[in-house]
A and B are shown apart, each in its own frame.
Chain A
Amino acid sequence: MRSIFKTGASALAVTTMLAGTAFAQELSGVLRISSDMSNPGPRAVMEQLAAEFDELHPNLTVDLTIVDREAWKTQIRNALSADPPDVVNWYAANRMAPFVNAGLFMDITEWWDAGDFAGLESVRGALTQDDRVWGIPYTYYQWGVYYREDIFNELGLSEPATWEEELANCQVIVDSGRACYTIGTRFLWTAGGWFDYLNMRTNGFDFHMALARGEVPWTDDRVRATFANWRQLIDMGGFIADHQNYSWQEALPFMINGEATAYLMGNFAVDQLRNGGLTDEQLDFYQFPIITEGLPQGEDAPTDTFHVAAGAQNVEAARAFLQYVASAEVQTRINGPEGLGQLPVNANASVADDEFIQQGFAMLSQNAQGGIAQFFDRDWPAEMASIGMEGLQEFMVFPDNLDDILDRLEAARQRVY
């Protein structure tokens, strides 16, 4: 009797320790974090996060370095190789692969199994490679069609649910002298978003992922069907002209000025559209329409992550920090409207009271039975992604080159995998 009680008590003690507060006395030294949250909003979130964690642990000093988000994509390699920090920011899925393969990320499967990250189970898959888990997510966001509600009302249109409705809507918009969609393909990835959606809707999520894994040739008829659907929109003048000259931000004014009515984009565009002067009455969101009946919808929802470097000096503090970031309370706060304005990864966190975040959350939790994809440049291996996105851009400008483009992508597929 006594011994059972004792075991129970010590188990309880261990649990409370893991739960966080008990760490307060034990953590010491320096926790070095390198973050890529360099845009003004995210930067403030990250700085506050580091300051709070520092305050929670009197003996611990948090040393935060924030690197420009674009620069970090190449700098992380040096940062992890020589004198690595303890915790770094990165992306889920295939983008982790080079660092996992090179042994630069720490295997934190045991922390997951120990229940450190309760409420994150649903996203574990995106952080898993070779059956081990290599990091934790801290935020994600939906993709979908952001459109000008006021122009839709003016033209008497409603949100399309099927491809036929979509094409009919687009015809009306084109006839009114506008483009249906704005897009800036100069940096290529925006075209990847279009391909993701068209392919997931035409052939389904599983086929899309098989293509990403290199199991299906690019010259497959099903892939051609995706491009044929895409071409319908291109040929009717659905996209703005000269999109190959613009970055995604430079394409925003077309929508803000009303020359284009919609934008297939991630939720981060909302902030920019609002800053550009559009009100929530003028803006709305719908899920990408269904093309093939009966296919469960797959969605793009890229996840941003934290990882522990393999060479981390202060592993205990890193573990406590990951727990802290993943906790429901912190998740609610950093993803809230005052913070990142995105979706929390913890199932127990509450979703911000924002029209678009709420819609995105409802869509991803109820209407994405097909599965959640990360994004073209995160699901495909890097080399295939870059050649692929270049081909997608060329297709959008010269749809007649399709055969040539697909042959090229197929040749690349055979070499890369």
Chain B
Amino acid sequence: MTDTSRDTATWMQRNRMTVTPILFLLPGLLFFTVYVIIPIFQSFQISLYDWDGLGAATYVGLENYRELGTDRNFEISLWNNVRWLALYLLAIPMGLFIALFLNQTVVGIRLYKSLFFFPFVLSQVVVGLVFSWFYLPREGLLNAVLQFFGLGTVNILGDPDLATYGIIAAGLWPQTAYCMILYLTGLNAVDPEQVEAGRLDGAKGWKMLWYVILPQLKPATFIAFVVTIIGALRSFDLISVMTNGGPFGSTRVLSFYMFEQALGEYGFRMGYGSAIAVVLFLIMLVFIGYFLWQMWRDERAARHG
């Protein structure tokens, strides 16, 4: 008896350095596996079936993916995702310039900063509502302004060619504020001595920004890039609030289409919805892979550098 217990104790003592971190990680790993990793594989599996979520599931192989290939709504959603990805990135330079503009000491600058930050505090639903009122074809502020300058009216959210851009513009408002905050904190960490040195070497304006300031803001740029890409791919609430995917499905993105097919009022095609989810996951995986690789490289550089 005593021998065994002493053996156990020594084993614990010997391996304490390995066991402790594992024990600390265990709860997190457990939840991550149950709520993230396993569902990912389940989505893969469900996407091979024709299933309404209630009855028996029929195995259909890759039929759902084949149907995606001929589905025009899927194509529209995919292209809209590309538009979101490309245009949403505008939030980064816009956030940077607002941050540069606000990075000065004048009376009441804290108030101005919080006013610029304000849209990020609003819920996406509120942003969507405000913008859809702004765009209203008759009473909206936008058309009132256009008419004041003698221009014709425009129905942005009712026009299949414009509606997606209208929603992205609404999304850029809070996203720009987010990037601005990231850059404002980044600017605090800019080394004044390097700026001073640059100035002595004759760098001014754009050159100063490009060669001296921006390299020091690289960590902030990286985070801004990550949150903006993820934000663009997650876009759902604005679409749901502003157009509900319409007019005639022209503003859908993959996440919205997936929701409609799997969980919407006329949907409940779980297999097809899962196939869309898998495609979306693969697109995200490209970016996530890149981000992870980038972080790993930076960390390695930090350790060895």
User: Which A residues are within 8 Å of any B CB, using their own CB?
Assistant: 73-74, 77, 81, 98-99, 101-104, 186-188, 241-242, 244-245, 377, 382-383, 385-386, 390-391, 393-394, 397, 408, 415
| Count of chain B residues near A, Cβ 8 A | 26
What CA separation (Å) do A391 and B246 show in the bound complex? 11
**Of A386, A390, A394, the contact of B267 (CB 8 Å cutoff):** A386
Are B54 and A242 in touch, CB under 8 angstroms? no
A-B contact pairs, 15 of them (CB 8 A): A74-B265, A77-B268, A99-B54, A186-B243, A186-B246, A188-B246, A244-B247, A245-B157, A382-B266, A383-B269, A385-B266, A386-B260, A394-B247, A397-B158, A397-B248
**Which residues of chain B come closer than 8 Å to A101, judged between CB atoms?**
54-55
User: A250's closest neighbor in chain B, by CB?
Assistant: B136
**Which residues of chain A come closer than 8 Å to B158, judged between CB atoms?**
242, 244-245, 397
What CA separation (Å) do A187 and B67 show in the bound complex? 25
Number of A-B residue pairs at CB separation under 8 A: 67
Chain B, range 147-185, C-beta contacts under 8 Å to A: 155, 157-158
Distance in Å: Cβ of B68 to nearest Cβ of chain A = 13
Closest 5 CB pairs of A and B: A386-B266, A102-B54, A394-B248, A242-B137, A244-B247
User: B249's closest neighbor in chain A, by CB?
Assistant: A390
Are B155 and A245 in touch, CB under 8 angstroms? yes
What CA separation (Å) do A245 and B251 show in the bound complex? 13
**Of A77, A187, A415, the contact of B244 (CB 8 Å cutoff):** A187
What CA separation (Å) do A232 and B54 show in the bound complex? 44
User: A405's closest neighbor in chain B, by CB?
Assistant: B248
Are A186 and B244 in touch, CB under 8 angstroms? yes
What CA separation (Å) do A275 and B199 show in the bound complex? 70
**Which residues of chain A come closer than 8 Å to B138, judged between CB atoms?**
242
**Which residues of chain B come closer than 8 Å to A99, judged between CB atoms?**
54
Question: In the complex, given contacts A386-B265, A393-B247, what are 4 additional A-B residue pairs having Cβ atoms less than 8 angstroms apart?
Answer: A77-B268, A377-B266, A382-B266, A386-B267
**Which residues of chain B come closer than 8 Å to A383, judged between CB atoms?**
266-267, 269
Interface check B75, CB cutoff 8 A: no
User: Which B residues are within 8 Å of any A CB, using their own CB?
Assistant: 52-55, 67, 72, 136-138, 155, 157-158, 243-244, 246-249, 260, 263-269
- The dominant DSSP class at the A interface is helix
What CA separation (Å) do A394 and B267 show in the bound complex? 20
What CA separation (Å) do A35 and B266 show in the bound complex? 20
**Of A77, A104, A397, the contact of B247 (CB 8 Å cutoff):** A397
**Which residues of chain A come closer than 8 Å to B264, judged between CB atoms?**
74, 386
Are B52 and A390 in touch, CB under 8 angstroms? no
Are B268 and A81 in touch, CB under 8 angstroms? no
**Of B54, B136, B246, B248, the contact of A77 (CB 8 Å cutoff):** B54
**Which residues of chain A come closer than 8 Å to B247, judged between CB atoms?**
244, 393-394, 397
Are A102 and B52 in touch, CB under 8 angstroms? yes
**Of A73, A244, A382, the contact of B246 (CB 8 Å cutoff):** A244
User: B272's closest neighbor in chain A, by CB?
Assistant: A383
What CA separation (Å) do A115 and B244 show in the bound complex? 45
What CA separation (Å) do A415 and B265 show in the bound complex? 19
Are B136 and A98 in touch, CB under 8 angstroms? no
Distance in Å: Cβ of B75 to nearest Cβ of chain A = 12
**Which residues of chain B come closer than 8 Å to A104, judged between CB atoms?**
54
What CA separation (Å) do A394 and B160 show in the bound complex? 10
**Which residues of chain A come closer than 8 Å to B53, judged between CB atoms?**
77
**Which residues of chain B come closer than 8 Å to A81, judged between CB atoms?**
54
**Which residues of chain A come closer than 8 Å to B267, judged between CB atoms?**
382-383, 386
Distance in Å: Cβ of B220 to nearest Cβ of chain A = 39
**Which residues of chain B come closer than 8 Å to A242, judged between CB atoms?**
137-138, 155, 158
What CA separation (Å) do A119 and B204 show in the bound complex? 89
